[in-house]
Chains A and B, each alone.
Chain A
C-alpha cells in the first residue's frame, strides 16, 4: 500500500478526539445533523415495510457483483467504450491522481468544477489538482463551504456537518464577493448559487464520482439533491468520472434497487432530487454534453479486500447511516478519525487505505454496540470486521505494551480457576481499602475509570466464595 497521501502530520487519535470533545459548537453541529438524520431515517423506514426484503436484495446484489467483479468490470468497460467513453484503470491512489491530472493538462484545463465524491477525496484529487496549478471549484454546497474553510469532509453525506449555520454565514461574508445580503439560509444559498453558476459555465472540465457503474449499459450514475452534478458534468468540454470498482451493478434495475436503500438510509428521503445516468459523451445531434468522457476505475486496496476477511465491506453504498447512529461519531465528529472516511465504515476502511499501524486506534475506539450493523442497508457486519482489525493488530504487535501486559496478566489468572479464586480472595479486600462508603473515587492505575466516574466498591467476598460457604453449610 502507498504511503498516505494526506496531511503530512497528524496528531494522535486521542489528541484529535480530545480536541473535538472540547468543542461545544462542534457538538451542537453534530447533534443537529445526526439527530435529524436518525429521525428522518426512522420515519422513512416506518413508511417502507419492505425494508428487510430490500436489504436482503441489496446485499445479494452487492455480493453477486463482488463474487463476479472481473466479469462485470469487463462488461462495463466494453459497454462504456462502445458509448464513446474512455475507460482508465488505476491500481492505487497515485495512479488515479496521475491519470486525472494528465487528462486535465492535456486539455490545457485551467478551471475544473467538481461534484462531491468521496473517492476523489480518497485518492487525494483536490491536492493533486492544486499541485498541477489547476483551479478547482467544488460545486456541492457543503463542499463549497469546506473549500472556503480549507477543510476536509467530516461526513460522507454532509461534508460540512461540523459547521453550524452561524459559522457558514461568517465564511460566506469573506468568501463571497459581494457577501450575502443576509444570514438566513435562503439568502446564503442564493449567494452560493450566484458564485458557483459563473464557474459552472466557464469550467473546462467537470469531475464527478459515481454512485453506480452500470455494467450492461456502460453508464455511470450520480445522485444529488442540488443538481450540481448535472451542471458539473454537462457544460464543460470534458467529463471525468472517478469511481471505486465496487460501485458496479449488473443493470439499471439493480442500481435503482440499491438507490431505494441508499436514499432512505442517508437522508430519509424516498428519492434524490436528481438521479442522472451519464452514458458516454455528447453524440451527434445531442443538444449538449461533454465532448469527451473519461472514466477512471480505481482499485486502491479493493481487490485486496476481496481476498481477505474485509470482503463484506465492499458492499458499502456510502449512505452514512452507520456514522449517524454511532455513539462515538456523535461525540467526536468526522475529523477526529483522521482518514478520508469517518465513523464505523471509515474505521474498517482507513486501515486498508492508510495502513493499520497508522490507524490501529480506529477499530479499537468502538464500544461494539452493534448499532451500525443494525442500520446498515446492505447488512455489513461492521463490528465483526472491526474485531478482525483488532485481531490483526494484536497479532502484528501493534497494540500498546500496557494493554498487552494487562490482558496477558488477566488471562493468566483467568486460565487458572484456583489461582483466580486466590487472587480475588486477596485482591478484593485490598481493593476495598481504596473505597469510602460504597464507592471508590480514586484508584491508582485505574484513572481511565475514576477520572470520570466512581467505581462501586467490590464485595468483601466473591460470589464463588460465598456460594461455596453456603453449600458447605447446607451439607
Chain B
C-alpha cells in the first residue's frame, strides 16, 4: 500500500443491516478502514432491489439498479456485507440492464468492481485482522448466493483463523440453504420453516457457542428459529467477530 493512493470504497450496508443490525455496517466500515481503504457511505442507498428482482418485478428492480449504480459507480470498489446483495449487483444488474443502451456498460463496469466484504478483504486487499480475540466455539454457515454466485467459501474461514481463541467447528450440511430465500420465507413459510428447522438442528448438533454467516437475512432466519426452539446459540455476522465486536449482544439479544 505504501506510496500508492488508498483505494476508495463505496460501502453499501444493505437494507437489512440498516434497519435491523447497524453494528454489522460499522464492523464492515472499521475493517475496510483497517485494510487501508477510504470508505464512504453514499446516502442514496436503500435496497439493492433483490426482492423485486426475485419476484419478477423487473421494472422496479431496474430502477433500483440504476439508482444504485449512479450512487456507487464513482468508487474504486463497491463492497457489501452480504453475498446475496453483492450477487444481485454482480449478476443481476448486468442482466437487468443488458437491453438498456445507456446503462448496460455501466452495469457491467460496476459489477466488475463489486465485492462481498470477506472476499474483498482477503482477495483484493490481502488483509488479515490482527489482535482479535474471541474465546468461544463457532460454526459457519455458507450462505448460498455468496457461495455459489461469488465463490465465497475459503475467504471468511481464512480470516476467522486469525481470531485468537476462536474454535471453529464444522457444520453438517454447511452448504445447504437455510430456507430464507428472501420473500420465499414468508410466501412459502411452512416449507421455509421445515428447512430452517433442519438447519437449526444441525447448528445445535455442533454444540458451538456461536453461529456465523455472511448474510443478515440468513442469520435472522436461523437466529429466529434457534431462539424459538430455546437454543442458546448466539448468532453474529462474520465481520462482527473479525472487527472484535462480538463481545456485546448477539443478534436478537438486544437492540440498542
What residues make up the interface of A, taking CB atoms closer than 8 Å to B? 14, 17-18, 21, 327-328, 331-332, 364-371, 373-374, 387, 389-395, 399, 403, 407-408, 410-411, 413-415, 417, 420, 424, 428, 432, 435, 437-439, 441, 446-449, 451-464, 466-468
Kindly supply a per-residue 1/0 record for chain B positions 162-179, scoring 1 wherever the CB is within 8 Å of any chain A CB and 0 otherwise.
Answer: 000000000000011101
Instruction: Identify the closest chain A residue to B50 (Cβ).
Output: A368
Distance A408 CA – B64 CA, assembled complex (angstroms) = 12
> For the complex, is B10 an interface residue (Cβ under 8 Å from A)?
no
A463-B252 CB under 8 A given contacts A366-B184, A414-B47, A455-B220: no
> For the complex, is B20 an interface residue (Cβ under 8 Å from A)?
yes
Q: Give B3 Cβ to nearest chain A Cβ, in Å.
A: 27
Contact B190 A368 (CB under 8 A): no
Contact B189 A448 (CB under 8 A): yes
Chain A binding surface, main DSSP class: helix
User: Within 8 Å CB of B8, what residues of A?
Assistant: none
User: Within 8 Å CB of B120, what residues of A?
Assistant: none
Distance A365 CA – B55 CA, assembled complex (angstroms) = 11
Q: Give A404 Cβ to nearest chain B Cβ, in Å.
A: 8
A367-B190 CB under 8 A given contacts A449-B185, A457-B255, A461-B22: no
A438-B56 CB under 8 A given contacts A463-B25, A468-B43: no
Contact B252 A456 (CB under 8 A): yes
> For the complex, is B136 an interface residue (Cβ under 8 Å from A)?
no
The segment out of B121-129, B202-210, B221-229 that lies at the interface is B221-229
Distance A417 CA – B46 CA, assembled complex (angstroms) = 6
Contact A463 B22 (CB under 8 A): yes
In residues 122-159 of chain B, which contact A (Cβ within 8 Å)? 144-145, 148-149
A367-B57 CB under 8 A given contacts A331-B195, A453-B196: no
Instruction: Identify the closest chain A residue to B25 (Cβ).
Output: A463
Given A21-B194, A364-B187, A368-B182; 20 other pairs, CB 8 A cutoff: A368-B145, A368-B184, A369-B176, A407-B52, A411-B57, A411-B60, A414-B60, A424-B19, A438-B249, A439-B224, A446-B186, A449-B189, A452-B228, A455-B224, A459-B19, A463-B13, A463-B19, A463-B26, A464-B45, A467-B29
A467-B228 CB under 8 A given contacts A371-B177, A438-B249: no
Contact A327 B19 (CB under 8 A): no
Contact B255 A432 (CB under 8 A): yes
Q: Give A171 Cβ to nearest chain B Cβ, in Å.
A: 27
Kindly identify which residue among B25, B43, B184, B254 contacts A417, using a CB–CB cutoff of 8 Å. Answer: B43
Q: Give A126 Cβ to nearest chain B Cβ, in Å.
A: 29
Q: Could you say which interface size class chain B belongs to?
A: 35 or more
Distance A408 CA – B20 CA, assembled complex (angstroms) = 22
A365-B18 CB under 8 A given contacts A391-B58, A464-B43: no
User: Within 8 Å CB of A432, what residues of B?
Assistant: 255
In residues 42-88 of chain B, which contact A (Cβ within 8 Å)? 43-47, 49, 51-58, 60, 63-64, 67
User: Within 8 Å CB of A463, what residues of B?
Assistant: 13, 17-19, 22, 25-26
User: Within 8 Å CB of B25, what residues of A?
Assistant: 463, 467
Contact B225 A407 (CB under 8 A): no
User: Within 8 Å CB of A18, what residues of B?
Assistant: 190
User: Within 8 Å CB of A399, what residues of B?
Assistant: 55-56
User: Within 8 Å CB of A21, what residues of B?
Assistant: 190-191, 194
Distance A394 CA – B255 CA, assembled complex (angstroms) = 36
Contact B145 A438 (CB under 8 A): no
Contact B148 A374 (CB under 8 A): yes
Contact A390 B221 (CB under 8 A): no
Instruction: Identify the closest chain A residue to B44 (Cβ).
Output: A417
Q: Name 20 A/B residue pairs within 8 A (Cβ), A-sorted.
A: A328-B191, A364-B187, A365-B187, A369-B176, A371-B144, A371-B175, A395-B56, A407-B51, A408-B57, A411-B63, A411-B64, A415-B64, A438-B255, A448-B187, A449-B224, A456-B21, A456-B224, A456-B251, A456-B255, A458-B19
Kindly identify which residue among A14, A446, A455, A456 contacts B188, using a CB–CB cutoff of 8 Å. Answer: A14
Contact B188 A365 (CB under 8 A): yes
Contact B256 A460 (CB under 8 A): yes
User: Within 8 Å CB of A394, what residues of B?
Assistant: 55-58
> For the complex, is B94 an interface residue (Cβ under 8 Å from A)?
no
Q: Give B80 Cβ to nearest chain A Cβ, in Å.
A: 13
Contact B177 A327 (CB under 8 A): yes
Distance A119 CA – B195 CA, assembled complex (angstroms) = 31
User: Within 8 Å CB of B148, what residues of A?
Assistant: 369-371, 373-374
